[in-house]
Structure 1
Amino acid sequence: MSIEAGSKLQGKVTGITHFGAFVELPGGSTGLVHISEVADHYVKDINELLKVGDEVTVKVVNVEKDGKIGLSIRKAVDRPEGESRPPRPHPRSGNNRGGGKSRPAPSFEDKMSRFLKDSEERLSTIKRQTESKRGGRGAKRG
């Protein structure tokens, strides 16, 4: 059986790694479902969603010349028209609930001055700690 990109197949999970799951397809070939293609949400631990031996429906994303098969579980799920992934929160808004006034983005100069201030504070803390380990400023060596 030839496997082509875009086709949906039933498969069986044969192995799980930290980066994805290996799925055996009809005909004995094996493909990889990358962890980012398992679900529509962020997946920290793939073991929470899949176990070895699970039957899954996958969509063939690509077939490499060297025979590697890229698969997706989340693309194999048919969604009704108009339904898509949940909206992602905007990075500067903190939460995506709205209701409050949004602050303007800090300028480059503001970010740079805050960075310099933080750096100077960290350096002075490190110097103080280092000097106390050596016995202070006026300590004589040896």
Structure 2
Amino acid sequence: MSIEVGSKLQGKVTGITNFGAFVELPEGKTGLVHISEVADNYVKDINEHLTVGDEVTVKVINVGDDGKIGLSIKKAKDKPPVTRRPSQSGPKNNNRERGESFEQKMNRFLKDSEDRLASLKKHTESKRGGKGARKG
């Protein structure tokens, strides 16, 4: 059985590093599951998801010319297709009207940004001794 891109295989975790996990595949070959391919959410510490000796299902995502095999655990999971109806288009943007134009959104964003920046400057200048602070 040759290892081809797109195939799903069973493997055993043989080593863990800070950037991923090495998985032993059939035929004695070894591939790497990069930390970004372990789970759908952000993985800060791979040890919270995998341990040496775990049996995992992986999908081959690439095979390099040098023989290195890239694997994914998250892509090996069968996910039901996501179908959305117009009424399920996600959360409304702060209960604002959906008909808001791009220019209106951009103007609101700029105003909010300027307000936040002014507030940040006001608070940091008073703590650093800038503008209007007494000089010793």
The alignment's TM-score, normalised by the length of structure 1, stands at 0.66
CA–CA separation in structure 1 for the residues paired with 2:79 and 2:109:
41
Note if 1:121 corresponds to 2:115.
Answer: no
Where does residue 101 of structure 1 map in the other structure?
95
Distance 2:75 2:31 in 1: 15
What TM-score results when the alignment is normalised by the length of structure 2?
0.69
Greater per-residue helix proportion: 2
Change (3 A) 1:10 1:123: same
**Pair 112,77 (structure 1): closer, same or farther in 2 beyond 3 Å:** same
Identical positions, percent: 60
Deviation by residue 1:4-32 (Cα, 9 ceiling, x = unmatched)? 10111111101112222111111222111
Q: In terms of Rg, which structure is larger?
A: 1
Amino acid corresponding to residue 95 of structure 2 in structure 1: K
Tell me how far apart the structure 1 counterparts of residues 112 and 39 of structure 2 sit (CA, whole Å): 39
Q: Distance in 2 between matches of 1:42 and 1:25?
A: 25
1:52 to 2:38 alignment? no
Gaps of 5+ in 1: 85-95
C-alpha displacement of 1:113:
4.6
* Distance of 2:110 and 2:95 partners within structure 1: 21
The structural deviation recorded for 1:117 is 4.1
Q: Counterpart of 2:129 in 1: which secondary structure?
A: helix
Q: How many residues align?
A: 119
Unaligned runs of 5+ in 2: 84-89, 98-103
Whole-Å separation in 2 of the counterparts to 1:102 and 1:79: 32
Query: Following TM superposition, by how much is the alpha carbon of 1:47 offset from its aligned partner in structure 2, in angstroms?
Result: 1.3
| Residue in structure 1 matched with residue 78 of structure 2 by the alignment | 78
1:8 aligns with 2:13: no
Distance in 1, matches of 2:23 and 2:43, equals 18
SS of residue matched to 1:62: strand
RMSD over aligned CA atoms reads 2.9
Q: CA deviation at 1:102?
A: 4.3
Alpha-carbon displacement from aligned partner over 1:18-70 (angstroms, at most 9, x marks no partner) = 22211111122211112222223333322122110111111100011222211
1:137 matched to 2:131? The reply is: no
